[in-house]
Amino acid sequence: MRVHHIDLKMTKTKAGKKQWAWHAIAANGRRLGWTGEKHVRRAHCLDAMEAVTAAKARGIPVFEVEGKLRTLIAPKRQP
């Protein structure tokens, strides 16, 4: 199976601190991979996801998920 898209989610701990995680999703909705750890910073989560999936190079869309709302994260422009 191939990665169809990546979901980036923010959750909160019992203490109210934000944590970020990513999930690689197949076209049929199954999770193919996910973060092994929670990240305190969104940028660190994106860096870890990119290191594992090479989403940018492979053209895989990355969505930020809040509840049931998915927002496409625009790729960075090349200088």
More confident residue, 69 or 9: 9
Residues 6+ apart with CB under 8 A from 3: 24, 25, 26, 32, 33, 53, 55, 58, 60
In a domain, 77, yes or no: no
Q: What is the CATH number of the domain that holds 25?
A: 3.30.160.160
pTM of the entire predicted model: 0.77
pLDDT tens digits, 33-76: 888 888 999 999 999 998 988 888 888 899 998 877 778 885 54
In a domain, 78, yes or no: no
Please, which pLDDT band fits residue 24 given cuts at 50, 70 and 90?
A: very high
Residues 6+ apart with CB under 8 A from 8: 20, 21, 22, 42, 45, 46, 49, 62, 63, 64, 65, 73
In a domain, 10, yes or no: yes
In a domain, 42, yes or no: yes
Say how many domains are in the chain: 1
